[in-house]
Structure 1
Amino acid sequence: MKAARKEAKLTQVQLAERVGIDQSVISSLERGKYRGSSHTVAIAYALGVSPRWLSSGAGEMRETSNVSNLLPRRPAEGNAELIDHEVIEGSEPLRPDEVMLPVFREVEFAAGDGCATQVIENHGAEERFSLPRLSRAGVQPENAALAIVKGDSMCPAINDGATIGIDKGSRSVVDGKIYALDHDGMLRVKRLYRMPLNRVRVVSENSEEYPEEVYSLADPDAPKILGRVFWWENFD
C-alpha cells in the first residue's frame, strides 16, 4: 500500500480523504498493524491499483483491462444513476473486483429411522460476488456467504427465491435487523428483537400469515444465528 501511495504521489492524509476514512487507518495498514480492512477495495480504487494485488500481492499491480471498469460511474442526466450489477454469473475468470462466496444450503442426511435436514455452508456450491458491495457494507470477504430464501414469510422485503448476503462475523442481535438462522436444520430468514432474560423475538415481514415467535437463546430448540443479512436481491 505504501509503495502504491508513493507512486500515486499522495500523502496518507490525502489518501484517507479520497477514501473517506481516518488517516490513522491508512497508517495502521501500512505499518502492518492490521492484515486486512473492509476499505481495501476503496483504497485500491483511489490508488488506481488492483484490489487483489493490494490485499494479497497476487497478479499485476495494475490490470488495465479491468481497473478502468471498476471506477465509480458518473450520474447520468436527470435523476437516474448508472450502477453495476453486484452478483456476477458466468464461468469466466474472476476479475479483481470479484470474490467467490460459499452458499448455505439445506441438505438431507440419514438420522435414525429416517432423514433429517441440516444447514451446511458451501457443500460444493459457490457464487461470484462483488467486492465493492462487501466493502460498502463493511463485510470482510472471509465472513461473507450467500443463501437462497424460500417462501414468502419475508415478503415484500425479501421475495421467494431471492439471493441474500450473510455476514457471519455479525451475530450479535441488533433490534430490527434481518438475520439468517439455522433452526433445527431449516434455513430461516427473520427480523430479530432482543427481550429481557436472554430471549429474542423472531419476526416475519409477512406477519399476518406468520405470527412472531419468542425463544430463549439458552434453549436447545432456539434457532442458531448464522449471521446478519447485509444484502438481498429483489425482483417483481
Structure 2
Amino acid sequence: METDFPVQGDNRETMKLLSKRIRACAAMAGSGDELARIAEIPRRTLESYLSGKSEPKAMRLASIVKATGVSANWLLTGEGTMMEDGSPVESQTEEEILKEYALIPGYNIQVSAGAGAFPEQNEKPSRKLAFRHKWLRFRGLREKDLVLVFAKGDSMEPTISDNNTLLIDTSQRDLQDGNIYVIRTDGHLIVKRVQQLLNKNILFISDNKTYKEMEISPQDLNDLEIIGKVAWIGKDV
C-alpha cells in the first residue's frame, strides 16, 4: 500500500511547484472540497498536498488526473500543457484559470439506452470539465445552458462512440435539419440526428446504418421532450 511522505529539504522546491499544479486542479474542480470528493482523496490528505507539506504517491496523482482530465505529464513534471487543447497554465494563478475557463457540470446520465432522467436544478454534478470562455463565445454557447452526459451504445457510430462525453446545449430545443439532439421518449433518453422531410414529418436517424430510422409526425412530436442539441463530443483516441 502506498503512503505519502513528508517533504524533505532537497525536495521542497519541486513540491512547491507540484502543489501549485494541484491547486490549479482544485480551481478547475471548483474547490478543494470538490476535488477531494471527485478524486476520492480524504480532505485532510489533499490539504497536505495543496500546502506542499507531503508528497503524493502515484495512486493519488492518478486519481487527480482521472477526476480532472489534466495531462499526467503536466501534473507530474510541469512540462507540456495542462489540457488537451494545448493551454499552458504553469504561469497562471487559480483566479486566472477560473477567468479563462468555464467549469461545465457533468452528470452520470447515459443517453441512447435505458431509462434516464435529466438532472434536476439542485442536483449535484459528479464532475466538471473546463472549457475556454473564448471557445464557448466563438460557438455561441452560454455556460448556464450547458451540461455533460455520457453516450451509451453504438447506434450513432462512427460519430458518437460508446461512453463518449456529450456537451448538450439545453437552450437549443427547436429541431434543425442535420443536427444531433438528445430526446426523451417513453421515459428513455436517446441521441439522434434530425432530418426534416417534405411532408413536415421528422426523421430521427442513427448514423450507424444497421439501426432503423424513426419517422415522427408533427402531432407525435408533442409526446417527445427535446432536451437539447449536442454541441461537442469528447472522444478517446
TM-score (norm 2): 0.51
Task: Specify which of 169, 178, 181 is matched with residue 180 of structure 2.
Answer: 178
Structure 1 vs Structure 2: percent identity of aligned residues? 26
Equivalent pair of 1:179/1:228 in contact (CA under 8 Å): yes
Alpha-carbon distance between aligned partners in 2 of 1:194 and 1:220, rounded to the nearest angstrom: 12
2:105 aligned to 102, 124, 135, which one? 102
Q: State the shift of 1:232 in Å.
A: 0.5
Identify unmatched segments of 5+ residues in structure 2.
1-80, 88-93
Quick check: 1:106–1:187 contact (8 Å CA) kept in 2? no
Q: Is the 8 A contact 1:106 1:119 kept in 2?
A: yes
* TM alignment of 1:1-236, pairs within 5 A: 84-85=83-84, 95-103=98-106, 105-106=108-109, 117-121=115-119, 123-125=123-125, 126-130=127-131, 131-195=133-197, 198-208=200-210, 210-219=211-220, 222-236=223-237
Q: Alpha carbons of 1:118 and 1:84: their partners in 2 closer, same or farther (altered >3 Å)?
A: closer
The CA deviation string for residues 61-96 of structure 1, in whole angstroms up to 9 with x for no partner, is xxxxxxxxxxxxxxxxxxxxx99536x9xxx88622
Distance in 2, Cα, partners of 1:191 & 1:216: 16
The structure that is helix-richer by fraction is: 2
Contact 1:203 1:211 in 2 (8 A): yes
Check conservation: 2:106, 2:129, Cα contact below 8 A. Answer: no
Amino acid at match of 2:183: L
Q: Partner amino acid for 1:119? A: A
RMSD, matched Cα: 3.2
Cα 1:213/1:222, change in 2 over 3 Å: farther
User: Is the contact made by 2:116 and 2:188 (CA closer than 8 Å) also made in structure 1?
Assistant: yes
Shift of 1:222: 4.3
Unpaired runs of at least 5, structure 1 = 1-81, 108-115
Q: Give CA-to-partner distance per residue, 1:76-131, whole Å, 9 cap, x none.
A: xxxxxx99536x9xxx8862222232335549xxxxxxxx9342226321412312
Amino acid at match of 1:145: V
How many pairs align?
A: 143
